Structure 1
């Protein structure tokens, strides 16, 4: 009664008063706890709900575990593997491709031999005998045109695009050759390529070894040969196969000319510090002039062989050659190379006009661009430039001034000394008994035919044969003198024609004497007649 009265009066019930019963008879809790507990009890009692929660938890755990494994594997791979990339723009790219091809060919040859070997006793010896064979190959075709007009074709099988596995000194290497058709390698004019070599991190020491081995293989292939480079876009590209080095003794020039140029070049190569100490640009320019066929190009090739240098051919009349490209090419010459500019007099005098059918205007390089490339502010150092011309009188004084042309040398007509020296090369003591019999090529004189028969029978007196050939040499020089070959009257004997005569009449000096008049140019021969 008192409690009811207190409630009506707005007073709180006593602390020990029992809570009012809910309509359904269940005791009430503050904030509706009874309903919440009932809802949660219903959810936990529902098997579909508990199964879904479990499935979500299992899926999350699986994804977390997979991600953890992937992360751990990536980290482990980064820690255990090492990768080397070689782009196609790098010089070692071709070296490694050819080395890999040679390495695999050697493995194939060893496997074909089937030599009996003792059974391996250790795991390392077993691994060293596993030689994976290539499955993807690419062909590299090289066509070489000879002076005779014939062609020689060589095919090389190189690793193709894709993955390859090789065994190098007991270490397995995975080599992947990738090609991006959307990018172009400007040096080659081909799609961009890259080689990726992967191995264990603990075996990373093999990278310098195989690169060094690839370089040594390339050097062996080029040993004793001269590489000829030509301009390809803004880079230098080898032209054909390396050529056999030509000895200086094979080129016969007037007395002192060869020795003077060779001595100057070697002195220049030894004087780098001298140039730097005095602030002089370390470069040297040479001008070789003279009639065509007198041996200018042959001498340059022999000079490159003597110095163990390459030759970079640059045609100033090439279509599309600009001042910037010319300067860039002369700046990026390959190491140990000679820049050769042939026929510089024709570079600016024979340009065609835009009225031609093909609209070609000739090379875009200007005379001032050539001067700046040779001796300008942006011109490179540590280089040798040799220019040749058949008409030195046509060259501008600005082109041949000191600093651009430091040494001039005339490679002129054959002198008496040149003729005699070339005679000894073809008909001297060393040629007796080793030359190709002239009877197989042309008709020979009776005396020479009899000498050949005696030589075959072993009855020929070498000393008598030498004296006979000396007499022929004296007669040959006398005939050329009578014809006016050494008077310097605007014509003379070119060494190319003289060599051609001696090659045609192998082993027949008498016939060469009889045909001496053939060395006279046609125009001069008509005047004499």
Structure 2
């Protein structure tokens, strides 16, 4: 009973003390507010988990480009980033609006699509691994499901692919070892690549198509599903142009690797090679520049001018860690400088040589460049002025692109004279390579 009396006395004392009663009131209110806020957080988290489907798109992935382009076309939101193109997303000037800029929504964007309410949150983050700032786009779909998210992504990708149908995506490795989309190249028809053998481009395209359609046949026979191509010959003869034309015809992206990059170690080379899309074209340029012209049996193929060794290249192409489903193109100006181990079947399955321009090749190319304004007789006359094995296709292209048909003969004769003089004096300079 004494305890009850003491408690009652304490209550009377507190209630009679304004400061004490006020402090207790504030304490109680604060506790209730904290409990309410905690409850609200729990309730919000529960609602988000139960009622909202969520997906995040990283700016290093192609899906980020699909969704960003999709949002920019809708024109939703009140906050935008104005850019003159979406080049930082790998896109081009074709995305410009009538105002000359693209408005990319930023912040939080609320919209209704396909009878669903959804909102996008666009944020920037510091990437500790690459020391670069990256962006993330998060989609929340109210009362949505995985199927709803997949449908939105599929719609955005389809719209993006329609807009890019006449473009070839080109990727290169950045200084941090990531594939970076360096832009799109205009798709070019295979007929635009004029070689000495007029049937060579079509035969190569047929081989690529046959490989891409033969995955199940490779699996049944237990053969590794990969295909290697070697394009070799004089500089400026159209090796890279042919690869881009093949990519256009096949609808594949091109991943470009420089074998002599000093920052590209064996492990990094294998990693980026395996990170390329499937199917895709992997272009390893100037592979002869990465290694000495010869090696001894006791050096274990570990000599290279850059960070990549020959053993690392061979293992990445067809070793245990090699991935499948890609068309790997190697280019070189000096096929005799390549180690025989690189040329064996399984690493190189198809070879195509590129030489200097022949007279017949010049005639066919001139007719194509001048689009019907040059007759076959005129083209034959032009070709008669060209000695074989003197000029590269790059020289010829530069010549015809900068002069009218009636000036081509004079310009060609002048270029031939200069080239012959250089050959005679053995001082041919780099402009002819």
Give TM-score scaled by structure 2 length: 0.78
Change (3 A) 1:191 1:257: same
Change (3 A) 1:518 1:281: same
Worse-matched range after superposition: 77-86 or 259-268: 77-86
Give the secondary-structure state (helix, strand or coil) at the position aligned to 1:214.
helix
Q: In 1, distance between residues paired with 2:161 and 2:255?
A: 18
Alpha-carbon shift at residue 103 of structure 1 (Å): 1.4
Superposition pairs of residues 278-293 of structure 1, within 5 angstroms: 278-293=221-236
Worse-matched range after superposition: 408-417 or 271-280: 408-417
Change (3 A) 1:269 1:75: same
Q: Gaps (5+ residues) in structure 2?
A: 89-95, 294-303, 427-433
CA deviations on 1:118-145 (whole Å, 9 max, x unpaired) are xxxxxxxxxxxxxxx323647587679x
Q: In 2, distance between residues paired with 1:65 and 1:505?
A: 81
Alpha-carbon shift at residue 407 of structure 1 (Å): 0.9
- Is 1:519–2:416 an aligned residue pair? yes
Map of 1:478 onto structure 2: 384
Partner residue of 1:95 out of 53, 66, 69: 66
Tell me the matched-pair count: 395
Superposition pairs of residues 197-276 of structure 1, within 5 angstroms: 197-201=139-143, 206-232=148-174, 233-239=176-182, 241-255=183-197, 256-276=199-219
Change (3 A) 1:214 1:415: same
Q: In 2, distance between residues paired with 1:42 and 1:294?
A: 104
Give the secondary-structure state (helix, strand or coil) at the position aligned to 1:286.
strand
Q: In 1, distance between residues paired with 2:237 and 2:62?
A: 37
Q: Gaps (5+ residues) in structure 1?
A: 1-35, 108-132, 145-151, 351-360, 433-465
Change (3 A) 1:234 1:500: closer
Superposition pairs of residues 122-161 of structure 1, within 5 angstroms: 133-135=77-79, 137=81, 156-160=102-106
Give the secondary-structure state (helix, strand or coil) at the position aligned to 1:176.
strand
Change (3 A) 1:63 1:305: same
Alpha-carbon shift at residue 61 of structure 1 (Å): 9.8
8 A Cα contact 2:239 2:331, kept in partner: yes
Change (3 A) 1:47 1:73: closer
Partner residue of 2:406 out of 497, 501, 508: 508
Superposition pairs of residues 68-107 of structure 1, within 5 angstroms: 71=39, 74-75=42-43, 78-79=46-47, 81-88=51-58, 89-104=60-75
Give the secondary-structure state (helix, strand or coil) at the position aligned to 1:254.
coil
Map of 2:263 onto structure 1: 320
8 A Cα contact 2:170 2:181, kept in partner: yes
Give TM-score scaled by structure 1 length: 0.65
- Is 1:184–2:128 an aligned residue pair? yes
Change (3 A) 1:173 1:270: closer
Give the secondary-structure state (helix, strand or coil) at the position aligned to 2:236.
coil
Q: In 2, distance between residues paired with 1:411 and 1:243?
A: 23
Alpha-carbon shift at residue 306 of structure 1 (Å): 1.1
Superposition RMSD in Å: 3.6
Give the secondary-structure state (helix, strand or coil) at the position aligned to 1:399.
helix
CA deviations on 1:139-164 (whole Å, 9 max, x unpaired) are 587679xxxxxxx9x8644333x433
Map of 2:113 onto structure 1: 168
Superposition pairs of residues 391-406 of structure 1, within 5 angstroms: 391-406=334-349
